[in-house]
Amino acid sequence: MLKVGDTAPEFELPDASLEMLNIASFRGTHKVVLFFYTRDHSPPCTTEAIEFSDMEDHFNRFHTVVFGVSRDDFLSHADFIEKHGLSAQLLSDEDGEICRTFGVLQETEVNGIARCMVERVTFVIDRDGIVRHVVPVLQAKGHAAEVLKLVKEME
């Protein structure tokens, strides 16, 4: 997993409307919050996405963009956004390449079957592309507020 002080890798992923987002386009202008989550519509991931959406204006005040990343496809993201009225931009990493790069793709065994699951972790990246905080999601409720506090402290 990436650590504090590492340079965040540059990448490009599609959002829910199939527009490609290049993370490098924010270097020098914005801080970036990347919250990796397991899957659309799961209760804890829904709570987390709603809270990040509800706090979007607060993050914007600190020149910070927030993106959720999961292995769900863009159609699932579009449905998730519509169903819950989300404003958070969700990116599709269907093949798990970016999840692997950030070190959040974990192999687990469920009922004797090996599965790759995305670990719920949030990375706070400064304007220079350096990882400043790595925040495991211990509890979905309140996680976005915890991350916002860290972003504020970076000012």
Return the pLDDT at 17: 94
Architecture of domain 12-153: 3-Layer(aba) Sandwich (3.40)
What global pTM score does this model have? 0.95
Q: Is the Cβ–Cβ distance between 70 and 37 less than 8 Å?
A: yes
Average pLDDT over residues 127-138: 97
Task: Give residue-wise pLDDT tens across range 45-78.
Answer: 999 999 999 999 999 999 999 999 999 999 999 9
The b/e string for 64-90 (b: 16+ C-beta within 10 A; e otherwise) is: bbbbbbbbbebebbbebbeeeebebbb
Q: Tell me what pLDDT residue 112 has.
A: 84
Q: What is the pLDDT of residue 109?
A: 80
d(CA 25, CA 148): 21
- Is 45 among the residues known to form the active site? yes
Which tokens go with 35?
């919250």
Instruction: Say which of 8, 16, 32, 45 is annotated catalytic.
Output: 45
What pLDDT is recorded for position 68? Answer: 98
pLDDT of residue 110: 75
Q: Domains of the chain: which residue ranges?
A: 12-153
Look at residue 136 in the predicted model and tell me its pLDDT: 97
CA 28 remoteness from chain centre: 20
Q: Which two tokens stand for residue 134?
A: 């790595």
CB 100 within 8 A of CB 130: no
Rounded to whole angstroms, what are the CA distances from 103 to 106, 147, 148? 8, 19, 23
**What does the pLDDT look like over 73-122, one tens digit per residue?**
999 999 999 999 999 999 999 999 999 999 999 888 878 888 888 999 99
pLDDT tens track for 11-51: 999 999 999 999 999 999 999 999 999 999 999 999 999 99
